[in-house]
Amino acid sequence: MNSKQKSDIHIIVVGAATVGIGFAGLATAIECHLQGLSVAIYERFPELKPLGDIISFGKNAGRIFAHWGSVVDRMLPLSIHLEDYGFRIHKYTGEHIHTQASVPLDKRAPTINGHRGELHEILFNYARDELGIPIHLGCDVTGYFESSSGAGIELSTGEKVYGDAVIGSDGVHSKARAFVLGSEMKLQSSGYAIYRAWFSSEKILADPLTKHLCENGDTFNGWIGPDVHFLVSSLKGGKDVCWVLTHKDDSQIDDRWSFPGKLADVYKILKDWDPICNRIVSKTPESSLIDWKLLWQDPLSTWVSKEGRIVLAGDSAHAFLPTSTQGATQALEDGVTIAVCLKRAGKSRVAEAMRAFEKIRYDRVCKVQETGKTTRDKWHKASWDNVKRDPKSIELPREDWILDHDAEKHVQRECDYIFGSSGRERVRGESRI
C-alpha cells in the first residue's frame, strides 16, 4: 500500500495503544498516513499489552479494514465464524426462542468479532512496522496548546511537541476533552455494568452439559431476562470462550470503572436462570473475571477547540454502550473522516477541516450512540407474549443505515460541498487497490 503524495500537514495523535482500546487513534494515524499526511502517535503506556476480551466491528468497519493491505486476512482467523450457527436466543428460563441468521462473509466488508487485544495488535503492528508511522510509547501528555496557526502537546518531561493539529483520542477520561470544553466533564453512570470473562474452553469441553458450546467450532448464544442479558461465545474453532453479563448497577463512578469480579456476585444475578448459564459460569476462572462499570456520556456541545486545531475522536468525543456493537467502528469512521477532511482542506485550512469533520460526523454518531440504549431496553423489557407471536422481534438489530455506510465515500461527497470538487481525490476503492 502506497500513501498518496506527501503533504506538509503534520498531525499529532494522542492515544493509540491503551491495552487494546486505542482504535480511534490508530485509525486516524493510519488514514492520515494513507492520505499522504505526516503523522505521529504519542501514547502514555510504555508497551503494548494485548489485554481485554471480545470486541465487535460491523461491516462499516470491515469496509475500512479491507483497504488496509492484508489486515483483513490477519483478522479473520481470529474472528468468530457463525455462518452455519447464527445467534441462538433463549429466554432466561431456558427456552430457545429464535435463531438469528448470520450475515454471509464478504471480505470486501466483513464483520469482525474477536479478542480486542489481538485485533488491536494487528493494527498497531501494521501502523508501526508496515507503514512506518512513528509511535512514541511511555509519553504522558499533561497539556495541550494551540494558536491560530498550530497546536501541540506538552509531555510530563516538560518537552513540547508541535504540529498543525492534535487529535485527542485518549479515551473516556480524556485530557484533550477538558481542553476543548474548557472544563472537566464528570462522567455519568449508565445505570448498568457488565461482568466479562475470556478463558480457555478446556473445562467447558470436559463437561457433557456444556461441551456442545465448543466441540463443533464457533458458537454464539444469548439468554435474555428482566434487566439482564447474558451473551456467550466460543471462538477460534471452539478453543476459547467469552461471556458478557449485562445487569443493573448503581455504583458511583470515579476515576476507576474496571475492577476484579467475583463469581459469587454473578451467581446472585443468575439465580433462577437456565441452569446452563450457571454451569458456564462455574467453568470460569475467577482470575479472568472483570467487573466493568458502563459509563454514559451525553452528546458534547462540541468536539473541536476554539481555534479549531485540537479535535476529539473515539471515546474522547462519544462513549458507546456495548449493546450498540458500534463503539470501535464509529472510532474508525472518525479516523477516515478526519484524514480526508485534512487532505481536502489543505494546510491553510486545517481549522476548517476539523470543523468539517464535526459537521459531517456529529448527527450520525449521536443517532448510532442511542442504539445502545434502544437495543438494551428492547431485550430487558421484552414482552414474551409479543416475542412468541413474532420471534424475529427479539433479534439483535442490524440496521442498513449503520452497516452499509461507506465512511470515505460519504466524507468525499460532503467535502465536495464544503471545499469544492476541484482536484478531488478519487475514493479509496478506485485509487489504492
* Phi and psi, residue 268, nearest 5°: -65, -40
| CA gap 144, 151 in Å, rounded | 8
* CA proximity to 318, closest of 112, 429, 211, 169: 169
213 neighbors 270 (Cβ within 8 angstroms):
no
Cell of 248: 443493573
Return the percent helix, strand and coil in the chain, to nearest 5: 40, 25, 40
**What 8-state DSSP symbol labels residue 108?**
T
User: What is 246-297 written as a DSSP string?
Assistant: EEE--PPP-S--EEE--HHHHHHHTTTS-HHHHHHHHTS-GGG-EEEEEEE-
* CA proximity to 265, closest of 248, 240, 241: 248
| CA gap 383, 365 in Å, rounded | 29
| CA gap 15, 136 in Å, rounded | 10
Contact residues for 179 (Cβ-Cβ < 8 A; gap 6+): 143, 144, 168, 305, 310
Cell of 410: 460519504
Q: Which of 44, 128, 196, 428 is catalytic?
A: 196
Cell of 157: 518531561
CA dihedral 215, 52, 122, 340 (to 10 degrees): 130
Give the 3-state DSSP-derived string for 50-70, with helices as H, strands as E and coil as C. Answer: CCCCEEEECHHHHHHHCCCCC
* Phi and psi, residue 387, nearest 5°: -65, -35
CA dihedral 228, 234, 236, 237 (to 10 degrees): -160
28 neighbors 357 (Cβ within 8 angstroms):
no
Catalytic residue flag (residue 196): yes
59 neighbors 368 (Cβ within 8 angstroms):
no
User: What is 3-29 written as a DSSP string?
Assistant: --S--S-EEEEE---STT--HHHHHHH
**Mind telling me the catalytic residues?**
196
